[in-house]
Structure 1
Amino acid sequence: MKIGIYGQYYHDNSASHIKNLLETLESRNVDFTIKDDYLKLLSQEISIEKNYKTFSSFEELDTSFELFITIGGDGTILRAITYIRDLGIPILGINTGRLGFLATVQKYEINDTIDQILNKEFKVEERTLIELTTNANSDFKIDELNFALNEITISRKNTTSMITVSTFLNDEYLTSYWADGLIISTPTGSTGYSLSCGGPVIMPNASNLVLTPIAPHNLNARPLVIPDNTEIKLKISGREESFLASLDSRITTINSDTIITIKKCSFKINLVELYSESFLKTIRKKLLWGEDKRN
């Protein structure tokens, strides 16, 4: 089996678990390749005696990789998709971070998890992405990383004043949100920033997107669930000449004369789900649904 390994940070007290992962893969004769920057970081923190194979960019990956293991939290998975893109390589997240809705494998489960993977005891779940494009006369030029797994967010910049986000769905005017910003979330991202701003939890396989205003001044502005084949156009105005657009964890500045179009991406991301796990188990555990201190 050919596997890629990706990480961004070294988390305290994770040295023994990372060593265990590498040793377990070696003992199972797995062919694995590590992101070069991450291996360099690990070498500074823990003793790495072997010369492991490395990759540095998207161009060095291909469909011969059968799995991509991320070490960290959900943010690490969001960054990993910028390397995988449309290759369809399934992602398995080992959680060395905090909450972890996407990275559900715990550090102490590494050995059992690798055995389950090698025995094909897992399923692959497709997750929808959304992409951002701008009008042709915009000064903003976006690169090929114009997609997001969790959400695309439009928000104010360099001001405490609210912005106005005029919103159109399939070219029909919806409303103008007077707020700190607007979140356009996928089902995967419904448990992220959107949830923090009062948005609903959406099942990952639902064919929906959700529009969630950030601190709207209009008290009757509520999150709106829409079909994921809807084309969303946004026109932003405010006291400043620019605003922020974020695609998951990637942030850029866009001029106020830019018309933004957001729609479902042409490809999807594959996430590994072990048979012992499920989305319902995850939200019960992470959101403490059903927990009552009186019981």
Structure 2
Amino acid sequence: MKRIGLFAKRSNPDAIAVAREVTSWLQERGIEVFLDQHLASDMGDYQGYPGGSIPAMVNLIVVLGGDGTLISVARKVGDLRTPILGVNLGSLGFLTEITQDELYPVLDKVISGEFAVTNRLMLDAVVRRGSQEVGRFRVLNDVVINKGAIARIIDMEVTVDNDYLTTFKADGLIISTPTGSTAYNLAAGGPIIYPGLHCLVISPICPHMLTNRPIIVSDEAIIQVEVKFQDEDVAFTADGQVGMPLQGGDVVEIRKSRSSTLLVKSPSKDFFEVLRTKLHWGAR
């Protein structure tokens, strides 16, 4: 590990301070540090690079912040499969498993090559309006179709590999990866899925029919959602961070991406320990 990229949650002053410390620590060990240009500006007199160019320039990316910051960086990595080390500067995250106290011992192991990664599948989502493609998104957590604050229930016709599933009448719909199963999917009553499983989950948001329940399908499936509304306020979002408004008749197609995200695993905790800690299992 001779070239490391560094991103941080810019709204967190602690992240900027830690970024300065990490940069000095790495440079003292002969490692070239590539700072996101916005982070470099916040840090002061440092050279920065466009965030989208960094994954191709480095052997590893360190993300200081929370799960949201890591997800935004994962989309920048794209097809390059550059490993990401997520460091949570607040409470423990589902993706940013490394705590600030563990940062330097873990970095020591990583730059020596003593680390393992977990491979997280991603999705490609395409929005089509008639014969025209009007949006394309890369997704780590989830695709969400939901209505605005004062819109009525929306109808969403869903097919899986061209087989008709059902027409959900609901406030919205979530199509989630195993990684995203602990995000909006969990809040909507969907299942927690072990990250290594090869599947996707389709979860309706507040369905009109109480018999509508989340359904798990293969990650090889192609899911199509046709939105049947006319004048409602309905939006498409990817990972809760980017998206676009939808029109009646738009079709959203979701399939497994050829890209995947490599996350450096914590040497001190596994997925189940993260669940127990984050969700306070066993607390009375």
TM-score (norm 2): 0.92
Unaligned 5+ segments in structure 2 are none
1:201 is aligned, of 175, 192, 195, to 192
Deviation string 1:35-59 (CA, Å, 9 cap, x unpaired) is 001121233xxxxxxx544211424
Identity %: 28
Matches within 5 A, 1:24-39: 24-39=25-40
Give, in whole Å, the separation in 1 of the partners of 2:34 and 2:87: 16
What's the secondary structure of 1:110's corresponding residue? helix
SS in 2 for 1:189: helix
Indicate the SS of the match to 1:154. strand
Provide, for residues 56-93 of structure 1, a one-character-per-residue CA deviation record: whole Å limited to 9, x for no partner: 1424541x511011111000011102221111100111
| SS across alignment from 1:265 | strand
Partner of 1:141: 134
Q: 1:184 to 1:264 in 2, by over 3 A?
A: same
CA distance 1:136–1:258, change in 2 (3 Å) = closer
Distance 1:3 1:60, change over 3 A: closer
Query: Counterpart amino acid of 1:164?
Result: D
- Which residue identity is paired with 2:253? T
Alignment of 1:116-265 (within 5 A): 116-135=109-128, 137=130, 141-143=134-136, 146-157=137-148, 159-238=150-229, 240=231, 243-248=234-239, 249-265=241-257
CA contact (8 A) 1:139 1:255 kept: no
1:80 to 55, 73, 76: 73
For residue 102 of structure 2, the aligned residue among 103, 109, 113 is 109
2:277 aligned counterpart, secondary structure: helix
In the other structure, the counterpart of 1:48 is none
| 1:158 shift after superposition | 5.7
Q: Name which of structure 1's ranges 151-160 and 264-273 shifts more when overlaid on structure 2.
A: 151-160
CA contact (8 A) 2:16 2:39 kept: no
2:52 is aligned with 1:58: yes
For residues 196 and 207 of structure 1, what CA distance do their matches in structure 2 show? Answer: 21
How far apart are the structure 1 equivalents of 2:18 and 2:37? Answer: 19
Preserved CA contact (<8 Å) 1:17 1:108: no
CA separation in 1, counterparts of 2:15 and 2:257?
35
Structure 1 gap segments, 5+ residues each: 44-50
Q: How many residues align?
A: 282
Deviation at 1:174, TM superposition (A): 0.7
Aligned to 2:268, the other structure's residue is in SS state coil
What's the secondary structure of 1:174's corresponding residue? strand
Match of 1:11 in 2: 12
State which drifts further: 121-130 or 5-14.
Answer: 5-14
CA distance change for structure 1 residues 101 and 72 in 2, over 3 Å: closer, same or farther?
A: same
Distance 1:16 1:124, change over 3 A: same
- Show the counterpart of 1:41: 42
State the distance in 2 between where 1:187 and 1:245 align: 20
Q: Distance in 2 between matches of 1:19 and 1:94?
A: 14
Asked whether the equivalents of residues 10 and 42 of structure 1 are also in contact (C-alpha less than 8 Å), the reply is no
Name the stretch that deviates more: 270-279 or 167-176.
Answer: 270-279
Distance (whole Å) between structure 1 residues aligned to residue 210 and residue 90 of structure 2: 35
Distance 1:141 1:122 in 2: 41
| 3-state SS, counterpart of residue 75 of structure 1 | helix
Contact map agreement 2:230 2:247 (CA 8 A) in 1: no
CA distance in 1, matches of 2:228, 2:156: 7
| Pair 1:284–1:127, CA change in 2 (3 A) | same
Distance in 2 separating the partners of 1:28 and 1:167: 53
Equivalent-residue separation in structure 2 for 1:53 and 1:196 (angstroms): 41
Amino acid paired to 2:189: G
